[in-house]
Amino acid sequence: MAKWLHSGRRRDVCVLLYEAGELRAQRLKNRLSTHYDERIDPGSFSAMLAALEDAGHVEAHTEGIADVYGLTDAGERALLDHYGWLAGNIENANDECDEGTDDANGERVDTEEDGAVDQESI
């Protein structure tokens, strides 16, 4: 995984930009703050955007006095690759969970082909 995705905040910024297309920096920061339900330090937010821009995953342009950010093609590919990895792991985990059920003690019990629980193992 690309280093820029090690940070959940960077991933979340990329998700917001993927959804919106482009956002002014302040609006992007506000959406992220709302999602986290906490204040985001302006300095760390600016540094994060700069790191994403330096890595080539976001690009900025100026509209009036506001900086507007959007994902680059490379940023979109990295985000979608990460989403595919995440979805695949969740799907695999669900498949593993479907292969058995837990008994009253929380122990794994294998199921038969038709989905019925093997009563002898309970």
pLDDT for the residue 13:
93
The predicted-structure confidence for 18-29, as pLDDT tens digits, reads as follows 999 999 999 999
Tally of domains in the chain? 1
Contact at 8 Å (CB) between 82 and 5? yes
Amino acid identity for residue 64 in this structure: G
Lowest mean pLDDT segment, chosen from 2-11, 34-43, 78-87, 110-119: 110-119
* CATH number of the domain residue 53 falls in: 1.10.10.10
The predicted-structure confidence for 111-122, as pLDDT tens digits, reads as follows 555 555 454 444
- Cα–Cα distance measured from residue 90 to residue 100, given in angstroms and rounded to the nearest whole number: 16
Containing structural domain, residue 22: 1-122
pLDDT tier for residue 59 given thresholds of 50, 70 and 90: very high
- Cα–Cα distance measured from residue 96 to residue 80, given in angstroms and rounded to the nearest whole number: 24
At 82 the three-state DSSP class reads helix
